[in-house]
Amino acid sequence: MDDDSTRDHVVPGSDETLETADIRGHDFRGETTLSDLLATYETTGFQATHLAEAIDITKRMQDEDATIYLTLTSNIISSGLREVIAALVRDGHVDVIITTSGSLTEDVIKTAKPFKLGEWDADEAALRERGINRLGNIFVPSDRYVWLEEYLYDFFDEFFAEEKVRTPTAFARELGETLDDEDSVLKQAADNDVPIYCPALTDAEVGNFLYYYSRGQDADVGIEILDDYTSLIEDGMLAEKTGLIAVGAGVPKHHAIMTNLFRGGAEYAVYISTGMEGDGSLSGAPPNEAVSWGKVKDDTETNFTQVEAEATLVLPLLVAEAFY
């Protein structure tokens, strides 16, 4: 076999001219602003390009006055992203929040007692002996939960005084009204009339303390979730356009896309996720899969994207460029 024939396999060549943008990143000549840097993400490739798409889609949500749903898992509140979420609510950038019970738990704790920076590689048994709980490289001393139980027991007395069966949205709103911390997501939501939906309210310490409260104080108290689900569906159908920003996945993400199914799908969707698509779970499902279900609309112009990245790295960049 001669060299020419092998070269055809190694370097086959191409007659096609691609009309797409050249791959090019930021060159750092002259002064650089955050906006300058993020503008070059569009042509950087890989997840940077997806983040640039997410910024563009999020801006379009606002330009078209879409009702913006923000969904998040509790680890977002565990981290310093709590302050980012509180700012979005405080400044009127989101209309609906859907989250997990841990978000409510940890938001309340942080109004009185901070979480502390720890390390990933820790002696777990020694931490247990010291009364320290580990969330990645964040440490949470157990005294936080002792304080929380006392705080919630006082709150439960008032919350269930006149109505024995309440909804998670009422729980979040009235709990937020008791807080005095400007960085609290619950307080900002209560102050700015942003509903917080928590379909799995019992799936954290709130659930544990509700259990003990019902057993020891009042067996008639309860949490009703269907009213909230109905409100999500019916309010969504009244919206002219909707946009979803899903930070993490699980129940909050699915509640947002499922309730938007009733209105024919959301017009815009931005996912920030580390979920793996290969296992077929909802957590790893990209937004184009939601199109097949009718939960997100398909448009001729890009109206959905997924940034495969850990949220603390990219959410502040998205918020800074798309909202501020």
Report the pLDDT value the prediction gives residue 8, as an integer from 0 to 100: 73
Q: Residue 131 above 80 pLDDT?
A: yes
Q: Coil, strand or helix: which one is 158? A: helix
**C-beta atoms surrounding 142 within 10 Å:** 13
Question: What would the pLDDT profile of 68-111 be if each residue is shown by its tens digit?
Answer: 999 999 999 999 999 999 999 999 999 999 999 999 999 999 99
Question: What would the pLDDT profile of 259-283 be if each residue is shown by its tens digit?
Answer: 999 999 999 999 999 999 999 999 9
Q: Residue 11 above 80 pLDDT?
A: no
Mode of pairing for the β-strands spanning 304-308 and 165-166? unpaired
Q: Residue 12 above 90 pLDDT?
A: no
Q: List the one residue out of 237, 240, 243, 230 whose CA is nearest residue 270.
A: 243
Rounded mean pLDDT of 3-20?
Answer: 78
Q: Coil, strand or helix: which one is 71? A: strand
Question: pLDDT-derived band of residue 2, with 50, 70 and 90 as boundaries?
Answer: low
Cα distances (angstroms) measured from residue 225 to each of 165, 193, 263: 10, 19, 20
Domains of the chain: which residue ranges?
62-114+163-323
Report the pLDDT value the prediction gives residue 16, as an integer from 0 to 100: 82
Question: pLDDT-derived band of residue 9, with 50, 70 and 90 as boundaries?
Answer: confident
| CA dist., res. 38 & res. 316, Å (int) | 12
59 is catalytic: no
Topology (CATH level 3) of domain 62-114+163-323: Deoxyhypusine Synthase (3.40.910)
Q: List the one residue out of 36, 41, 12, 13 whose CA is nearest residue 25.
A: 41
Q: Residue 5 above 80 pLDDT?
A: no
Query: How does the average pLDDT of the chain come out, rounded?
Result: 96
Global pTM? 0.95
Higher pLDDT, 8 or 213: 213
Question: What would the pLDDT profile of 14-53 be if each residue is shown by its tens digit?
Answer: 778 889 999 999 999 999 999 999 999 999 999 999 999 9
The single residue of 110, 253, 295, 297 carrying the catalytic annotation is: 295
